[in-house]
Amino acid sequence: MPVRIAPSILSADFSKLGDEVRAIDAAGADWIHVDVMDNHFVPNLTIGPMVVKALRPHSAKPFDVHLMVQPADALVEAFAEAGADILSVHPESGPHLHRTLMRIRALGKQAGVVLNPATPLAALDHVMDLIDLVLVMSVNPGFGGQSFIESALPKIEAIRKRIDLSGKAIELEVDGGVDAGNAGRLANAGATMLVAGTASFKGGPGHYAANIAALKAA
């Protein structure tokens, strides 16, 4: 399967977010990636469930909601009700990762685990049967527009092997510094979904289709 693109609305024009989501959808986005930051678990403060609910009518594409919040459990239900399709959490964001993933699945949503640059692969050991997605952070979470951390590549390769051994159709997503210059290497390492903020939204709506096409071609 060709690698797909999940543009991060963190890089969109927040003054016209509905228009931006419609434009990036029409330009060929496969998922819409929503970065939720709480200025506690990560630096920066972004959006809450009300914004996701407001954006939901603007696209039928899956809403890929990355919860960079602590504790995550208190917000899972609100984002599920707001229209999230996939909810991804960090092992560090609460004491009971297994329970959080069970809660996400009980709400009828897909569940993901996010690995920060220093989070070991062992965090996946006992939850592979509960997840639909592994999201590898190739920057430290909290800001858009950061440079790609090269050590993410062997990590992606190792997770690809784990997923293949599990026999499950688990997406392997990469977020952070993704552009046309490294998209090919990420795909070769085993990624199936690339989050791209700056690379998707640069140049304004007239460039979105070309930006996404360039990522997919790379």
Q: For residue 71, is the peptide bond before it cis, meaning its omega torsion is within 30 degrees of 0?
A: yes
Q: What is the 3-state secondary structure (H, E, C) of 98-116?
A: HHHHHHHHHCCCEEEEEEC
Given 25, 30, 35, 64, the catalytic residue: 35
Q: How much is the pLDDT for 157? A: 98
- What is this structure's pTM? 0.96
Q: How much is the pLDDT for 70? A: 97
Given 30, 38, 64, 175, the catalytic residue: 175
Alpha carbon 194 to its chain centroid, in Å, reads: 8
Determine contact, residues 119/69, Cβ cutoff 8 Å. no
Domains defined along the chain, listed by start: 4-217 (3.20.20.70)
Q: How far apart are CA 160 and CA 114, in angstroms?
A: 14
Q: How much is the pLDDT for 2? A: 85
- Give 175-201 pLDDT, tens digit per residue: 999 999 999 999 999 999 999 999 999
Q: How much is the pLDDT for 76? A: 98
Q: Which amino acid appears at position 78 of this protein?
A: A
25 annotated active-site:
no
64 annotated active-site:
no
Would you write out the chain's pLDDT as a tens digit for each of its 218 residues?
A: 789 999 999 999 999 999 999 999 999 999 999 999 999 999 999 999 999 999 999 999 999 999 999 999 999 999 999 999 999 999 999 999 999 999 999 999 999 999 999 999 999 999 999 999 999 999 998 877 789 999 999 999 999 999 999 999 999 999 999 999 999 999 999 999 999 999 999 999 999 999 999 999 99
Tell me which residue of 127, 110, 111, 136 sits closest to 190, measured CA to CA: 136
Strands, DSSP E only, in 141-198? Answer: 171-175, 193-196
Determine contact, residues 9/32, Cβ cutoff 8 Å. yes
Q: How far apart are CA 31 and CA 195, in angstroms?
A: 9
